[in-house]
A = this chain, B = another copy of it.
Amino acid sequence: MLMPVRAMPLPRGPGAEPPSCSACQVRPHALFGAVEAAALDEAPLAVKPVALEPGERLYAQGDSGWSVFTVREGIVRFERFSERGERRIVRLAGPGALIGQEAILQRPYVDDVVACTPARICRIPRNAVERLAQQQPSLVRELMNRWQTALEAAAQWTTDLNSGPARRRVLKLLHQLQQLQPPQQVAGARAPIWLPQRDEMGLMLGMAQETASRIVSLLRREGVLEPCGPGRAWVDAELLRLALLEQDRLAG
């Protein structure tokens, strides 16, 4: 029997995380990948680990931002409220992603950020980034790279997950969730991924949760999808690819 992910809390408190940034597993893909290891260890970075359970909030929209964050493990979502109080999920971020970058500009956070899966996140104070950036110009360029990547992801979100028939939007979401798995995890034909709750899918794709449920059920019957524990599922990458092609073929 599989332990359900949500029932497996992460270790908490000080000492639960190694304090060394230079030895971090995701460092090659993260912000500090651009910084020399020596410089990292010299600087008293004051980087603090944060552990979040699903549904826990990292920060809220409007908070004055004193820190940026790097996702080491798990998936978080960016939420936003429209004027009438409707929630929308506007972006996801996985391991290696930098979030809350607006803090560097001394702007308040623009979105709520909430954990989707159990997540380990590193909190990096703003002035630590500034200090390091003065010594290491490559960090500035890497910051810009992160911004551009986030911008492209946001635009891609519009075209992929907010256009076309509901079925294709769901397929695209599954495809995107596959990419969010940790890079080092070699994906077989049937990799287990995080499968959002139906109402979460609705908020991401701009559809009713019932519609999302119907389509997920259908995909399960087609063998594209197979649940394995709460909030998790195997996805047959090949069938998913075929389903997307099929979808495009019918519409073209």
Contacts and interface: CB of A to CB of B under 8 A. Distances in A.
Interface of A: 78, 80, 82-86, 88, 90-91, 101-102, 104-105, 107, 110-111, 140-141, 143-145, 147-148, 150-152, 154-155, 157-160, 162-164, 206, 248, 251-252
Contacts of A83: 248
Interface majority SS on A: helix, strand, loop or mixed? helix
Given A163-B206, A206-B163, A88 B147 contact: no
Contacts of A154: 151, 154-155, 158
Contact of A248 (B84, B105, B140, B155): B84
A158 B162 contact: yes
Given A141-B105, A147-B147, A151-B154, A159 B90 contact: yes
Contact of A151 (B147, B158, B160, B206): B147
Contacts of A144: 101, 104-105, 143-144, 147
Which 3 residue pairs across A and B have the least CB separation, nearest first? A147-B147, A154-B154, A84-B248
B158 A158 contact: yes
Given A82-B163, A102-B148, 16 more contacts: A80-B155, A82-B164, A84-B248, A86-B163, A88-B159, A90-B155, A91-B155, A101-B148, A105-B141, A105-B145, A143-B144, A154-B155, A154-B158, A157-B158, A158-B162, A162-B162
A39 B22 CA distance: 39
Contacts of A90: 155, 158-159
Contacts of A143: 144
Contacts of A206: 162-163
A244 B140 CA distance: 41
A170 B104 CA distance: 35
A72 to B, nearest CB: 22
A159 B105 contact: no
A155 B110 contact: yes
A86 B162 CA distance: 13
Nearest to A157: B158
Contact of A88 (B85, B148, B150, B163): B163
B252 A80 contact: no
